[in-house]
Amino acid sequence: MRKILVLALALCLTAVLCTSACADTKMLKVSHVFAEGHPVYVAFLEAADLLKEKTDGRYGLTVYPAGTYANYNDSITAVQMGDLDIAALDSATDWLEAAGVLFAPYCFQSYEHWAAFKKTDLCTEMREAISEAVGGVKQLNMYNFGFRHLTGNKPITKLEDFNGLTLRCVNFAPYSTLKDVFQVAITSIPIEDVYMSLQTGVADCEENPVTQIVTMKFYEVQKYLMKTQHMLACSSTIINNDLWESLSAEDQAIFQEVFTWLGNRIDELTVQNEDALFAQCEANGMTIIDDIDTAPFRANAAKVVEDYPAWQDWYNQIQAIEY
């Protein structure tokens, strides 16, 4: 009986300690629009464990994927207002025109170029400028989720191949600059309607990272995938600035360490997953074309940048990075 009583008391004490520890964990809300299984989703779950470990359980993350907390724009507003703790922010061009350079066609030449950029003082300078321009937030990192590529129902390997075609792309800069890069007619169609538009011929081709091509099953209505790598899909993590300022210097260092790791982990998963995604496209009947002369596309892209003076300083510095 005594042993049973001691065991019961031990279990009660453990329960009290666990309840106390859980009660002392401040759970921060994170919102993003990426689906389960996406590198961003996977990396955030890993970062949640890492943050809890590094802070000895004082902080944790509750992650709301696929827009389940709010859509992309509303999530940013919620972080600015302090109703949400952490969210994803893309180019921030709505607040700072110069930030659009991150999506400028052929701004980044490879994943190695991107990785080298992230280690520079320029990247830190851009994050600080973006944070100030957006207001109420601090940008903790940058990451990418893949180069954007073309799909179509015929091989497209040179400018002449675009003749008579209509490309679906987002109809605002920098995406809309693709009309000049590829010298093609463009049309803006909501992403949820792109599959049908390709199936019915409203659009002849589209461009997206391979993650999106697979998720949306564009391989069912497009025969070819051209590895043009014409634009890098990138994003970042922002945190409410009042929350950031409330952290001790030690915790700020921990948060910065964890979210820097998060950005690098997303980059890593993106590259690791690409081969399997391309293989999935091929398994579903798509022909992958990587023998493409992109020199004319790149030449047109350089001319496009000349039309956006706000991009030019950062663009030139990015091009000068050795990798």
Over the stretch 186-208, which tens digit does the pLDDT of each residue have? Answer: 999 988 899 999 999 999 999 99
Give pLDDT, residue 3.
45
Which of 24, 15, 19 lies closest to 59 in space, CA to CA? Answer: 24
Does the pLDDT at position 89 exceed 70? Answer: yes
In 3-state terms, what secondary structure has residue 44?
A: helix
Question: Which tokens hold the place of 66?
Answer: 């696929």
Phi and psi, residue 94, nearest 5°:
-65, -25
Does the pLDDT at position 297 exceed 90? Answer: yes
Per-residue pLDDT band at 317 (split at 50, 70, 90): very high
Does the pLDDT at position 180 exceed 90? Answer: yes
Does the pLDDT at position 7 exceed 90? Answer: no
Count the neighbouring beta carbons within 10 Å of the beta carbon of residue 154.
Answer: 12
Per-residue pLDDT band at 237 (split at 50, 70, 90): very high
Give the mean pLDDT of 302-314.
95
Give pLDDT, residue 191.
84
Whole-angstrom Cα distance, residue 110 to residue 147? 9
Higher-scoring residue by pLDDT: 2, 251:
251
Give pLDDT, residue 171.
80
Does the pLDDT at position 283 exceed 80? Answer: yes
| Mean confidence (pLDDT) of the chain | 92
Give pLDDT, residue 23.
59
Task: Report how far apart, in Å, the C-alpha atoms of 124 and of each of 13, 153, 160, 248, 265 are.
Answer: 47, 42, 40, 21, 18
Q: Which domains does the chain have, with CATH numbers?
A: 18-319 (3.40.190.170)
Does the pLDDT at position 316 exceed 50? Answer: yes
Does the pLDDT at position 156 exceed 80? Answer: yes
Per-residue pLDDT band at 155 (split at 50, 70, 90): very high
Does the pLDDT at position 70 exceed 60? Answer: yes
Q: What's the start-to-end Cα distance of the chain, in Å?
A: 71
E-assigned strands of 179-270?
185-187, 205-209, 224-240
Question: Which tokens hold the place of 193?
Answer: 């309607």
Does the pLDDT at position 122 exceed 70? Answer: yes
Does the pLDDT at position 19 exceed 50? Answer: no
Of 19-33, 77-91, 243-257, minimum mean pLDDT range = 19-33
Model confidence pLDDT, tens digit, residues 20-56: 445 599 999 999 988 888 899 999 999 999 999 999 9
Give pLDDT, residue 215.
85
Give pLDDT, residue 174.
87
Give pLDDT, residue 14.
40
